[in-house]
Chain A
Amino acid sequence: MEARIRENRWQHSPHSVRTFISKNKAGQSKTLLLKPAMSAWKYKKSKLKMRRPEKYTMSNPFGRDLVIRMFHVNKHYGAKQALVDLSLEINQNEFVFVTGPSGAGKSTLLKLLYRGEPVSGGQIIIDGMNLGAIPDKRIPMLRRKIGIIFQDYKLIVRKTVFDNVALVLEAAGQKQGLIQKKVRSVLRIVGMEDRLDAMPPSLSGGEQQRVAVARAVVGDPTIILADEPTASLDPESARIVFELIQQFHEKGATVLIATHDLEMARRSGGRLIRLRSGRLENDTHMSDL
């Protein structure tokens, strides 16, 4: 069983992962070359360094393929155990469904990953960042590696569609020119390019969720986390949103979707993690079922 999963992982880490990594390496060596020419201040501000917080990086004997690692993670809210001794490894560019009955700890698992909540015990390492060790000040750096999609969209109702998506890049300190280009291109992919100036409340649920997907991916995150992204949508909108997430997965992102919708999981293929009462009940691949 264990062996089969490993085998599957190999099959499922596509070619694009390699190129992604080598690009990263090229990027890094470029930074190092530039370093002496830059002032210390500029170097500190350089985006490349921000994305590579060496100080908090643990060496990874398996290379960069493991994007998420959880070691014996516990999480309790007061006396309530939400997650119990959960260990998980998720590869670069995997497509993972997290299922389980209500209250199983799916949302909690995702929250721990973007550090919406601290762990109560154990360790989580995301793309080399040890979440227990990073100071609060660096949480934004973590969140820039992660795009999050919620069931209730969580769009800012007072901002236009464009501004909602642009916010991610503005917060990351990107230049206006780049923001304009990128936001437009992402909104075109999700089919919202003609609603740039609309306010979220004037959109349908499906449209709002497409904007939310655009916002999640506009910063080129390593990981996309989605908590019941299609639960409040009609089947057609749900299909569109799901296909969009798949589309961005194909571009290289690692995807975790918490859902009750086993049908969607089945259709898509991918890894299926089943939780029950905060424990890992099952970890299989769709093709095994």
Chain B
Amino acid sequence: MIRIYIKRAIEDIRNNRMITLVTIVTIALSVLIVSSFALFYANIGKMLSTWQEGIRIIAYLKADATEAQIAEFQQLLSQIPDIDRIQFIPKDEALAQLKEQMKHQESLLTHLRGNPLPDSFEVSARSQEGNWDKMEVLASRIKSFDLVEDVEYGQKWLQRIAQMVELFRLAGYGLGAVFLIAGVFIVANTIRLVLYSRKEEIEIMRLVGAANNFIQAPFYLQGLILGGLGGAGGVVILMAAYLTVTAKLRQTMIFGFIHLSFLSPPVCLSIVLASMLVGWFGCYLSLRQFLKN
């Protein structure tokens, strides 16, 4: 039985080579666009979380903090479970550091009277699957202590990139949805054309006692094949593009600092399966419409 269905499906694809090809290519391009978003997001996300591991929160203390208060504060901090390492930086040391950093503009600091810098704590969060929210929560918790004047964490640009990536991810979802719908309609349209070219044949099948399932199965199979080939095609093109780009990068310096990887096999498989589902659904739509009249 299955053999008959496959035979009929392949026959249809052969008889409609051009439109089939156009459909597969269109699906492949859609998949390519959506999956390149996924690839970009996967890599940038990984990069961000490795960078984040090195981020520290700096808590600036109020100028009038006494030594006892500072000791008590350190005690409190060490009880927060998310905190890995605490380092107290007295204002003198901070000034010395600053002077070291501004060796060449020392004149700017020579006229300083006293030390304008506050005492501070440098806190490293326990390294975990880099999570901005956690970082923020921790920072605001530290800030809520009376003794703390202000906190500073992460480099601002890093956070901005994270926000952009987030935006990118949303755009990816939106685009994915658009292309998914487009894919469904493209397949629906193709199957509809095939259906109309087989109208007479389907009528005859009905007359000799073919049930709907028997008539429909090859078309569903075609939908799955179109979706599957399109999806696989998209992933393969993306892979080729990825390999070319990484090969180019490998020749430059940058590659040493960033670590890129392609979408994992399960993700690739899901993309192909999703695109098969798109094919199936497109077929469902046009069959439903066709069998109604």
Task: Report A's interface with B, CB cutoff 8 A.
Answer: 114, 116, 137, 139-144, 148, 154-156, 158-159, 167-168, 170-173, 176, 215, 219
CB pairs A–B below 8 angstroms (16 shown)? A140-B211, A143-B207, A143-B208, A143-B209, A148-B207, A148-B208, A167-B208, A168-B209, A170-B1, A170-B4, A170-B214, A171-B205, A171-B208, A171-B209, A173-B1, A176-B3
Distance A143 CA – B210 CA, assembled complex (angstroms) = 8
Residues of B within 8 A of A156 (CB): 200-201, 204
B85 within 8 Å of A by Cβ?
Answer: no
B126 within 8 Å of A by Cβ?
Answer: no
B206 within 8 Å of A by Cβ?
Answer: yes
Distance A176 CA – B3 CA, assembled complex (angstroms) = 10
Residues of A within 8 A of B211 (CB): 137, 140, 171
Distance A170 CA – B5 CA, assembled complex (angstroms) = 10
Distance A116 CA – B205 CA, assembled complex (angstroms) = 13
Interface size, chain B (Cβ < 8 Å): 17
Residues of A within 8 A of B214 (CB): 170-171
Question: B210 near A154 (CB under 8 angstroms)?
Answer: no
- Chain B residue at minimal CB-CB distance from A164: B204
Distance A143 CA – B215 CA, assembled complex (angstroms) = 15
Residues of A within 8 A of B15 (CB): 158
Question: B210 near A167 (CB under 8 angstroms)?
Answer: yes
Contacts A170-B4, A171-B214, A173-B1 given; does A158 touch B209 at CB 8 Å: no
Least distance between B221 CB and chain A CB atoms (Å): 15
Q: Which of A154, A170, A219 contacts B207 (CB 8 A)?
A: A154
Least distance between B116 CB and chain A CB atoms (Å): 85
Residues of B within 8 A of A159 (CB): 201
Residues of A within 8 A of B1 (CB): 170, 173
Least distance between A121 CB and chain B CB atoms (Å): 24
Least distance between A199 CB and chain B CB atoms (Å): 13
- Chain B residue at minimal CB-CB distance from A173: B1
Question: A167 near B205 (CB under 8 angstroms)?
Answer: yes
Question: A140 near B209 (CB under 8 angstroms)?
Answer: yes
Contacts A158-B201, A170-B4, A173-B1 given; does A141 touch B207 at CB 8 Å: no
Distance A111 CA – B241 CA, assembled complex (angstroms) = 60
Residues of A within 8 A of B200 (CB): 156
Question: B209 near A144 (CB under 8 angstroms)?
Answer: yes
Least distance between A138 CB and chain B CB atoms (Å): 9
Residues of A within 8 A of B207 (CB): 114, 116, 143, 148, 154
Q: Which of B3, B11, B205, B209 contacts A219 (CB 8 A)?
A: B209
Question: A154 near B204 (CB under 8 angstroms)?
Answer: yes
